[in-house]
Structure 1
Amino acid sequence: MPKWFNTAGPCQADIHYMLPSTDRLPEIVNLIAQRNYFVIHAPRQVGKTTAMLSLAQELTASSQYTAVMLSLEVGAAFSDDLGAAELAILGEWKQSIRFRLPKELQPQEWGDTEAGARIGTTLSRWAELSSRPLVVFLDEIDALSNETLISVLRQIRSGFPNRPQGFPQSVALVGMRDVRDYKYASGGSDRLNTSSPFNIKVRSFTLSNFTLEDVRNLYQQHTDATGQIFTPEAVDLAFHLTQGQPWLVNAIAKEIVEYIAKDPSIPITPELVNQAKEILIKRQDTHLDSLAERLREDRVRAIIQPILSGLELGDTPDDDRRYLLDLGLVVRSQEGGLKIANPIYQEVIPRVLSQGVQDSLPMIQPSWLNADGSLNAQVLLDAFLKFWRQHGEPLFKSANYPEIAPHLVMMAFLHRVVNGNGTLEREYAIGSGKMDICLRYGKQTLAMELKVWADKRPDPLKEGLPQIDKYLSGLSLDTGWLVIFDRRSGLPPISDRTTTENVISPAGREIIVIRG
């Protein structure tokens, strides 16, 4: 039977390329043997459900345990009606168990009891009558909230001392966040801020992204099945662009083998990987779209905004930083600061944020193209200055990240320039004080650095020139733009203060300094 790369829901071993769950979760088997209860949390679309389903099947097939993954998500609709939530959850469990376990391992009875005890009683009776120790992975635990969430956690905690004869030997809570961050609308907080309702957990750990070796092994499965080769350079680039994020790893491969290079005799090269990346970014499939939705949240904005502009985070709550880590939007760099999780997100985030501005742009004639279709950098500069003086300030209002509104307006203009025939790449980092942009159009590459001049700060020119020198050196370019957005208070309109000058950088490069 043919297999495919999967980008929708849990993988199924008979039709999807996938990695063994025990390779990604090597510690779990020992935790289960020691009768531990634990938490697995990771961002969406990293393969939690796939790994749990697969591991449950492996454990059951070993004849040592009865293991099953069950979801709590249907209870989310009844956050304030515990009895209704329990009945919905147990109804879902019956269906899942019927399909996931052989008949002889299924619960022999589903006796009813009073609201507030149904989950615990069901698990207790099942464990008591089971011919093997029971292992249960409870998926989507953080979909529950309020009293329903607290009750489920307490019912599991209450049965813990009776394991393994009278309660599951091991229970894992599987979700996007750790226990202390589950939603609970009480006492002025929307989170538990404690693990006390589930203080029996021995560990909380996360499901990590694929390693380079994992990506290589996953792609090799396609090569073994079809003969289509991923060149080593293509695998390396796919890993770099995705940083092993499982959905992205699969999505890039799927786009290539099913649409771009369907003929298995065509080897998969870095050029094809880049082509797939651009398609994913422009199309913003479900996974990328859901990340974009998060960008509207205030606590996400409070961290993403300074990252994009290269400013320090300042006094942001630890919980907000942890939230973005749990979402998978950011990671901690080796140097210790936060950075966007991978180069694809790095492209998606500013593109999404500048979309509102792009939609507000006036009609702009592409005067910057030569007769042969190549880019004329001087004409582009003149067109940008004209656009900036006329439309820059009014467009700031359409940017939903006000502190980086000039960046978003400029990026919206540059997106109109590339318009499917070129690419726009960005680099930014906390504390760097800058955003670097590389515009590639045909054989031409134009590099620019964006900096902000804020109140009570010195002119960024002195700091910016050696910074753009370093950026241009990495691109092997001799010239570039240094754009300084003057955000000090009490200034005249942008139309009156936008200027340009040519300066020579410390390394002898010709830099066009744009102030506005």
Structure 2
Amino acid sequence: MDKRKNRFFNTTGPCNPEDHYMLPPEERLVGTQLHRYIGDKLYWVLHAPRQTGKTTFLQSWMREINSGSEAVSCYVSVETCQGVPEAERAIPIICDAVRRWAEKNDLPVPAIEDETPQSQLNSILGNWAKLTAPKPLIVLFDEVDVLQGDALISFLRQLRDGFAGRGVEKFPVSIALVGMRDLKDYITAAKGGVPVNPGSPFNIKADSGTLSNFQKDDIARLFAQRTAETGQQITPEALDYVYDQSRGQPWLVNSLFMRATMRILDGESTEPVTIEHIREAREQMIQARETHLDALAYRLENPQIRSVMETLITGEPDPLMAQGEAFRLCMDLGLVAIEKGGPVVANPIYREVIAREITFGAQMAIPAPEWKWQKSDGTLDMDALLREFQAFWQNNSEIWEQKLDYPEAFPHLLLMAFLQRVTNGHGRIEREYAAGRGRMDLAVEYNGAWNIIEIKLLRQGRNFETVMAEGLKQTLGYRDNFFPIRPSQDRNRTEASCYLLIFDRRLDKPAWSERLKWITTEAVTVLGC
């Protein structure tokens, strides 16, 4: 029986080709030269966001090396050192992980000699190199980003001390350090934020590599494996939507495919996967708060990350943002990407998770709508909804603003919470936000009808008329980009209602009677708030 008949799309732990549909992870390596690391005795770093395939790659490469006769490769996770900043405790834990890995894989087990933690790791790796001779030893250390403080510094120093004498019978000829961030970031954190200098304890790395996301062709190749084994097809529109929503993030791609094939459709079904199946999978995934997305929500508690997200949500230009440590952290964690030369949230699914997470408290505090917000055909009465929002804004904004953590993005967040509360998850909200554009774009679909909403802020020194003129062009531009000129989209484009909301954020705001506006133009309804 062919074992591959029962394979599935994996979202939990490393992938292996016997159980899971997968692509060779080494195809996505950027900035690395695997063929050199053993022969040239190089130490190197691999960093990429969580659940992009780092551990899958390490274990795959380890198996490839060990299947030959040139070297012995081993994989050691230091994750058990999480929350242990003291070298006296962490180093023995790492040494024990080395011994347990050797035992589990029927390799000679190196002894832990009676030495201080400051030299214990160096000693055990040297002993292990003797036991694996005449083959050279390669060690792949995973989850290095959990190390902190003195534990990290001691770990790196002991590897550096062994580097000069590395070789067969002496010390591992090649070591990889793998985690979410580049090594310089670990060192900076361990030194209390002091930047790296030439005397840093690991100045011997040859490369810093990373793993890229899937490309469109990769996503098609991945699902093609299921088609080959089961006959189940996927429509081109569904494949495009998977890429558009995930931007190729490996866990998101696998999760969308897994839910569509195993939960929305029966795992044995050969019914083609359509874009509607993928949309349902997306919504299920977001609502289920799976571990990957839950970790993303947890990251938003970090003030550094909040500061970057606020700039992206408001769209306000900030020339210093990309130079800061907070922005680099968001890039390393895979929360932010660069598109068309500017920073954006990495993909639409993350945008949705972030928006829902940071508006959840406000959404729960907004009373259930008692006014009529649907038309007789079941679509949203957006005029009625936004008039109610204007009243809600007038009655609550000044008090609520003092309670939320995102003061600059407060208008955007309160409007999104209001929309989410009314639609109650049954409609669809597409969100576009990126730094430097000076606006936020929303497209709201409910029972087949679309509404385009543009949000702009009226800042000190500007006037309503100028901001309105800018916003009208931007609103129609967003509508035209959202509904490209295709025969199948012409009706959606012409029938979509467009709204421009301008929030007055000036210090010398006029009275509410002047601030609240409702202006109808030929194509766009303008609201002053």
Instruction: Report the TM range for the smaller structure's normalisation.
Output: over 0.9
Alpha-carbon distance change, 251 to 494 in structure 1, aligned in 2, over 3 angstroms: farther
Q: Is the Cα–Cα contact under 8 Å of residues 180 and 194 in structure 1 kept in the other structure?
A: no
The residue aligned with 1:487 is 505
| Structure 1 range deviating more: 381-390 or 462-471 | 381-390
The residue aligned with 2:487 is none
Q: Is the Cα–Cα contact under 8 Å of residues 9 and 21 in structure 2 kept in the other structure?
A: yes
> What's the CA shift for 1:142?
1.8
The residue aligned with 1:124 is 126
The residue aligned with 1:409 is 414
Q: Which amino acid aligns with 1:160?
A: F
Alpha-carbon distance change, 494 to 180 in structure 1, aligned in 2, over 3 angstroms: farther
1:158 to 145, 161, 164: 161
| Structure 1 range deviating more: 432-441 or 54-63 | 54-63
1:73 to 36, 59, 79: 79
2:61 to 55, 64, 81: 55
SS, match of residue 447 in structure 1: strand
The residue aligned with 1:396 is 401
> Which runs of structure 2 are paired with 1:239-318 in the superposition (5 Å)?
239-262=243-266, 263-316=268-321, 317-318=323-324
SS, match of residue 74 in structure 1: helix
Distance in 2 of aligned mates of 1:221 and 1:488? 57
> What's the CA shift for 1:417?
2.3
Q: Which amino acid aligns with 1:472?
A: R
Alpha-carbon distance change, 275 to 366 in structure 1, aligned in 2, over 3 angstroms: farther
Q: Is the Cα–Cα contact under 8 Å of residues 389 and 495 in structure 1 kept in the other structure?
A: no
SS, match of residue 450 in structure 2: strand
Matched, 1:469 2:476: yes
> What's the CA shift for 1:197?
1.1
Give deviations 1:171-213, integer Å, cap 9, x for gaps: 0000111111116667652775778211110111111112222
SS, match of residue 278 in structure 1: helix
Give deviations 1:85-110, integer Å, cap 9, x for gaps: 122122222223333x3x2x433544
Alpha-carbon distance change, 230 to 30 in structure 1, aligned in 2, over 3 angstroms: farther
> What's the CA shift for 1:141?
1.2
Distance in 2 of aligned mates of 1:514 and 1:194? 57
SS, match of residue 82 in structure 2: helix
| Percent identical | 38
CA RMSD in angstroms comes to 2.1
> Which runs of structure 2 are paired with 1:345-424 in the superposition (5 Å)?
345-365=350-370, 367-424=372-429
Distance in 1 of aligned mates of 2:445 and 2:432? 14
The residue aligned with 1:204 is 208
> What's the CA shift for 1:293?
1.4
1:182 to 186, 198, 202: 186
Q: Is the Cα–Cα contact under 8 Å of residues 368 and 383 in structure 1 kept in the other structure?
A: no
> What TM-score does the superposition give when structure 2 sets the normalisation length?
0.90
Matched, 1:514 2:527: yes
> What's the CA shift for 1:13?
3.3
Q: Number of aligned residue pairs: give it.
A: 506
The residue aligned with 1:15 is 19
Distance in 1 of aligned mates of 2:519 and 2:83? 60
| Structure 1 range deviating more: 37-46 or 495-504 | 495-504
SS, match of residue 70 in structure 1: strand
Alpha-carbon distance change, 419 to 173 in structure 1, aligned in 2, over 3 angstroms: same
Distance in 2 of aligned mates of 1:79 and 1:268? 48
> What's the CA shift for 1:361?
1.0
Distance in 1 of aligned mates of 2:28 and 2:457? 43
Give deviations 1:448-479, integer Å, cap 9, x for gaps: 10000111234311211111121222331364
Distance in 2 of aligned mates of 1:186 and 1:49? 24
Q: Is the Cα–Cα contact under 8 Å of residues 79 and 146 in structure 1 kept in the other structure?
A: yes
Distance in 1 of aligned mates of 2:190 and 2:171? 30
Give deviations 1:382-429, integer Å, cap 9, x for gaps: 333333333333333343211111111111111122213210111122
Distance in 1 of aligned mates of 2:480 and 2:205? 51
2:453 to 448, 472, 477: 448
Distance in 2 of aligned mates of 1:359 and 1:195? 52
SS, match of residue 238 in structure 1: helix
Unaligned runs of 5+ in 2: 484-492
Matched, 1:4 2:21: no
Alpha-carbon distance change, 135 to 471 in structure 1, aligned in 2, over 3 angstroms: same
SS, match of residue 483 in structure 1: strand
Q: Which amino acid aligns with 1:338?
A: P
Q: Is the Cα–Cα contact under 8 Å of residues 482 and 514 in structure 1 kept in the other structure?
A: yes
Q: Which amino acid aligns with 1:54?
A: S
Q: Is the Cα–Cα contact under 8 Å of residues 315 and 437 in structure 2 kept in the other structure?
A: yes
| Structure 1 range deviating more: 123-132 or 179-188 | 179-188
Distance in 2 of aligned mates of 1:17 and 1:195? 45
Distance in 2 of aligned mates of 1:188 and 1:38? 24
> What TM-score does the superposition give when structure 1 sets the normalisation length?
0.92
The residue aligned with 2:490 is none
The residue aligned with 2:35 is 29
Q: Is the Cα–Cα contact under 8 Å of residues 368 and 421 in structure 2 kept in the other structure?
A: no
